[in-house]
A = this chain, B = another copy of it.
Amino acid sequence: MTTTKLQTFIPLFYIVWSDDLLTEKEFVTLQGFIDSQDWLSPDEKQLLLSKISISNPPSRQDIADWKSKIEQTIQQNPAIKSIFEIAVALSEKDASIQKLETSFVKLENDLGILGEEAISNFKTKAKTFTVTHQTEASFDIQKITDVLDGNQAPIINKVKSIISGPEFKLETITNVEAYRQKVYDWCKILAKENLGNMAYPKQYGGGENPSDYFAIMETLSYHDLSLVIKFGVQFGLWGTSVMSLGTEKHYIKYLKGIGTLKIPGCFAMTETHHGSNVKGLETTATYNRENQTFTIHTPHEKAQKEYIGNAALHGQMATVFAKLIIAGHDYGVNAFIVPLRDENGTVLKGITIGDCGHKMGLNGVDNGTIRFDNVNIPKENMLDRFASVNDKGEFESPIPSDNRRFFTMLGTLVGGRIGIPRSALAAAKTGLTIAIKYSDQRKQFGPEEGSEVPILNYRMHQRRLLIPLAKTYAVHFALQYLTKRFLNKTEAEMQEIEALAAGLKSYSTWSTTAILQECREACGGKGYLSENRIDALKNDTEIYTTFEGDNTVLMQLVAKNRLSEFRKSFGEMGSFGIINYVYENAKSAVAQKNPIAIRKTDEVHLLDSEFHLQAFEHREKTILASAAKRIKKLIDSGMDAYDAFNVVQHQMIDMAQAYLERVVLEQFQMAIASVEDKNSRTILTKLCQLYALSQIEKNKAWYLEDNYMEAIKTKAIRTIVNQLCWDIRPDAVALVNAFAIPDSCLGELV
């Protein structure tokens, strides 16, 4: 390659030998090209062909020389934009070469080389914008923490300080016995700190502060989740069942002992054959008029109580849900306190305990099965707030319908459906803190000869972690709202709040499951090591989507509630009513669905919070009306109602989802409106925009089907979601730092 003319081929030679994507076929193409060039002498052809013989490749040194020649050329001629321009420069602007542009470019194309890209690769140095993007907080972290913690800051800080102590050091305990004991010991410490009885009335030793109780549950969830569940079983489920279903005599007798963990107990509702459908429980409580007792009995193996926390080892008593039978008559499911063990832990006569054994997670909780073989308990052990047996041995209740009584009882236990989603939220925060901080440090790949790039600078990685981050902030405010509504509820609001709790329980726990999955993958192999905590977070919360009500079942409950509310608001439910509604909705949607709006893609509009909320509301209302219409049509056509609801089940879930998304967005927007600090408001607004637009992006098929948006708009939304991720990335580490999770809970990675 001594003559300048022949140097023309250097770029192509370099590329075919170094690119890992070219195959033998491309060598043949290149050989054919050289053969066909009339301006080369046979000797020159032979020389050139010798450089691209697969059986006799050039030396490593040849390749290095070619590369440095190309680099020099580009350096000397920074305006160069194509492979051919390099070739021309290397030929020292040989005029005969310059004429060959067309055939050279065709050759490049036949070889699948994108010239501009190849040149750019030669030029790329460390300073590309992908490389230089980095962590730089735009706000005061403490101020965001203050917004998140609100009035609960003191109790949150107290709990954080306890779980950061040496006694609470986290470790992976694979021995189930040791793990259960450790968790039990931790619970005792928390009881001593008066955290367990926080929600109970002061006259029974409690703190009378249910707000703080929920904050405790959430904050503890940064730590070991077996602890949280054991804690929740004892003080939440067991204690609350006595408090909500019992009467004063029970409070006096039990509540203090429960709050101090002197009386460890269980909440024995679920049976092997009846989990979601608790109305179908088969355990019986038969009233014995002769001696004023009840006999608690498990009629067959599949009617045993199952998955009962605290049952396998520690529980001394249980609130047992059983069908009350008086004189052969079934009065529906009621609740009874049944002793299981004496104070030494010995299982009492008639009680058979099984151990659920090893589980996917939560192995620090002693879940067990309980069978009752004609166990007698005194009459006073019936939790008799909503139903009782009078002195004459007759059933009495202020609520005559068995159905409604049962749901009223369940309604008082709805607190569990607030504690669990808040615990799930904390687990998502922990996972995101670990994954985002790791991704900010971890570098992998980079431009040629540049340094490697933090993986959080990669766009897919940003989508995988920052959209969840925005959602986690959104869910935080929604759960704050739910808690407030629940704690200040009136009777008239109860059904709405119960549905909201059921819905947000599903929304938050599913969200956590999905987010921890992303976190695990985002941390690669490190995410798989137990020491880095994602293992435990993921496996422990896995059951959150099932317990306290299977999410899919709960979502149908939400949907049914929405349908009922819908019917109430729209009087005439005949098809006229729905038409009316659709018309009303259509009127309000005129502004939104006009030909200009559905194609509007300017940034101001796309980032506008009013646009977001309108889009969410429109979706919510339209799905609701359409499902109502469809159900009516199916039933009118003669289909059984039970079948009809099954046919539209998919739509019911969508309906509940749309409702929850609207609530979550609305609450996020309202929370931001009350933030005073400007920088805090700016970053929270960005997160809220990302939440809103990423949800619209997820649902864009629906918006397109509904003609609420045209393709040009949904595509613009995708672009802006990516851009928001990019813009938020420098703040990402500060945003997870604002969760202020104790370092001791973040594993070994960060």
Residue numbers of A with Cβ under 8 A of B are 17-21, 23-26, 57-60, 62-63, 105-106, 108-114, 116-117, 120-121, 123-124, 128-131, 172, 174-176, 270, 273-277, 280, 306-307, 331, 356-361, 395, 397-404, 407, 443-448, 450, 452, 457-461, 463, 491-492, 494-495, 513, 517, 520-521, 524-525, 527-531, 534-535, 538-539, 542-543, 545-547, 550-552, 560-561, 564-568, 570-574, 577, 631-632, 635-636, 640-644, 646-647, 649-650, 653, 700-701, 704-707, 711, 714-715, 718, 722
**What residue of chain B has the Cβ atom nearest to residue A697's Cβ?**
B701
Q: Is the CB of A401 within 8 A of B17?
A: yes
Closest to A447 in B: B642
Contacts A23-B494, A701-B701 given; does A360 touch B530 at CB 8 Å: yes
Partner of A531, one of B357, B458, B707: B357
Interface centre among A359, A642, A701, A704 (most CB of B within 10 A): A642
Chain B residue numbers with a CB within 8 Å of A109 are: 567, 570-574, 577
Which residues of B are found within 8 Å of A521, using beta-carbon distances?
A: 545-546, 550-552
With both beta carbons as reference points, the residue of chain B lying nearest to A406 in the complex is identified as B20
For A17, give the chain B residue with the smallest CB separation.
Answer: B401
User: Which residues from chain B contact A130 at a C-beta distance below 8 Å?
Assistant: 640, 642-643, 646
Chain copies in complex: 2
Q: Which residue of B lies closest to A569 (CB)?
A: B112
Pick the residue among B20, B21, B129 that contacts A643 (CB under 8 A). Answer: B129
**What are 17 A-B interface contacts by the 8 Å CB criterion?**
A17-B400, A18-B403, A19-B403, A25-B492, A59-B400, A60-B400, A109-B577, A121-B641, A275-B524, A276-B524, A277-B444, A277-B452, A360-B528, A458-B649, A528-B542, A647-B722, A701-B714
Q: Is the CB of B113 within 8 A of A567?
A: yes
Cα A75 to Cα B19 with chains together (Å): 81
A539: chain B residues within 8 A (beta carbon): 360, 535, 539
Say yes or no: A23 contacts B60, CB within 8 Å. Answer: no
A400's contact among B62, B106, B110, B706, by CB below 8 Å, is which?
B62
A360 CA / B535 CA spacing, docked (Å): 5
Name the distance in Å between A627's Cβ and chain B's nearest Cβ: 12
Kindly list chain B residues whose C-beta atoms are within 8 Å of the C-beta of A117: 631, 635, 641, 644
Measured in the bound complex, the distance between the Cα atoms of B705 and A362 in whole Å is: 45
Quick check: B641 and A120 within 8 Å, CB to CB? yes
A524 to B551, CA, bound (A): 10
A701 contacts which chain B residues (CB < 8 A)? Answer: 700-701, 704, 714
Partner of A358, one of B174, B306, B550, B711: B174
